[in-house]
Amino acid sequence: MKLESGNPAPAFARRDQSGAVITNADLSGKKAIIYFYPKAFTPGCTTQSCDFRDNYQAFQKAGYEILGVSPDPVEKLESFREEYDLPFPLLSDEDHSMAEAFGAWGTQTNYGKEYVGLIRSTFALDEEGAVSHAWYNVKAKGNVARVGSEVLE
């Protein structure tokens, strides 16, 4: 089920790149951007993550925390974060239950073939933990600019 503006964000508890557990409760009272990407170290995912890195200060200034989420294991996320100097947590969703809860896991078509996998998606949450914006099937390039144009003052 796809989330829409006004929906409460699903509860989650996931390990970050250092093994620490981050939950939705950790975001209580904070605005957040949560972006789901398919696989660390791939060209599109690297572009998207580095775009969030390069715009991190603007999001921070507007009061947003940023979380990246992928099906990658913790160890791979640690390497990815270090390699690209990403200043925000990366969450491991190996069983893809967080992606499913956000509506970011499902059937897709790529080059005429259907498969089940992660749907690149980005969500903005307000201070109460409700979805203020939901973007599904986003392109890696240009995603951060679009998110910024809609949520940054």
Q: What is the pLDDT along the chain (153 residues), one digit of tens a residue?
A: 899 999 999 999 999 999 999 999 999 999 999 999 999 999 999 999 999 999 999 999 999 999 999 999 999 999 999 999 999 999 999 999 999 999 999 988 778 888 899 999 999 999 999 999 999 999 999 999 999 999 996
| Dist CA 14 CA 102 (whole Å) | 14
Q: What share of the chain is helix, strand, coil (3-state, %, to 5)?
A: 30, 30, 40
Q: Do the domain assignments include residue 6?
A: no
Residue closest to 50 by CA, chosen among 90, 104, 93, 13 = 90
State whether residue 9 is helix, strand or coil. coil
Q: Do the domain assignments include residue 8?
A: no
Q: CA angle 86-126-42, nearest 5°?
A: 30
Q: Do the domain assignments include residue 2?
A: no
Q: Do the domain assignments include residue 3?
A: no
| Residue 3 φ/ψ, nearest 5 degrees | -85, 150
| Dist CA 109 CA 83 (whole Å) | 31
Alpha helix locations (H) across the chain?
A: 43-54, 56-61, 74-83, 97-101, 143-151
Write down the catalytic residue from 27, 40, 45, 124.
45
Per-residue pLDDT, 1: 82
Q: How many domains, in total, are found in the chain?
A: 1
Per-residue pLDDT, 3: 96
Is 50 an active-site residue? Answer: no
Query: Order of strands, edge to edge, in the sheet holding 131-135?
Result: 90-92, 64-70, 31-36, 121-125, 131-135
Per-residue pLDDT, 112: 86
CATH of the domain at 26: 3.40.30.10
Per-residue pLDDT, 149: 95
Residue closest to 75 by CA, chosen among 32, 41, 109 = 41
Q: Residue 119 is part of which domain span?
A: 13-151
Q: What is the pTM of this model?
A: 0.95
Q: Do the domain assignments include residue 42?
A: yes
